[in-house]
């Protein structure tokens, strides 16, 4: 059965809400049991437990993170989720506003099998250091 763009839009809204809940477990629940995410060509976090670790790391670094879905593109099982997050760096207290995206490969149950995430790490470091 083809993946409906409306179903992906609902999934993306729920994914955004999971990030805004502050629950790494809620974020990881959107991934297939063997799903993975790699950020900026880094080593992938493979498996739902490791995805949870990745999300927990972001929550530790930006405890007041607020995520917004800026755009979503859907083509079959492939989607691009464009986002902005704001918050404050935990170490410096500096305000952050970071834009990026995730390229998703979805399974038939709308779980992320693979995500490739991208953001400007140099800009993130610049903003974090400003505090």
DSSP codes joined into one string, 31-100: EEEEEEEEETT---EESHHHHHHHHHHHHHH-TT-EEEEEEEEEETTEEEEEEEEEEE-TTT--EEEEEE
Task: Note down pLDDT in tens along the chain; length 131 residues.
Answer: 578 999 999 999 999 999 999 999 999 999 999 999 999 999 999 999 999 999 999 999 999 999 999 999 999 999 999 999 999 999 999 999 999 999 999 999 999 999 999 999 999 999 999 86
Q: Which domains does the chain have, with CATH numbers?
A: 5-129 (3.10.450.50)
Neighbours of 31 (CB within 10 A): 28
Note the pTM of the prediction, 2 decimals: 0.95
pLDDT on residue 1: 59
pLDDT on residue 97: 98
**Contact assessment for residue 131 and residue 89, using Cβ atoms and an 8 Å cutoff:** yes
pLDDT on residue 131: 65
pLDDT on residue 102: 98
Q: Which two tokens stand for residue 16?
A: 């955004």
Report the C-alpha gap between 98 and 60 in whole angstroms.
16
């Amino acid at each position: 059965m083809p993946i409906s763009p409306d179903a992906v839009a609902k999934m993306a809204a729920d994914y955004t809400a999971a990030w805004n809940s502050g629950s790494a477990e809620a974020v990881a629940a959107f991934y297939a049991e063997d799903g993975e995410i790699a950020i900026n060509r880094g080593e992938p976090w493979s498996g739902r437990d490791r995805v949870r670790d990745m999300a927990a790391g972001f929550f530790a670094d930006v405890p007041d993170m607020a995520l917004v879905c800026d755009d979503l593109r859907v083509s079959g099982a492939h989607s691009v989720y464009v986002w902005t997050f704001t918050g404050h760096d935990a170490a410096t207290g500096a305000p952050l506003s970071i834009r990026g995206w995730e390229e998703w490969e979805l399974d038939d149950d709308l779980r992320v099998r693979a995500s490739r995430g991208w953001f400007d790490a140099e800009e993130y470091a610049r903003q974090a250091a400003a505090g």
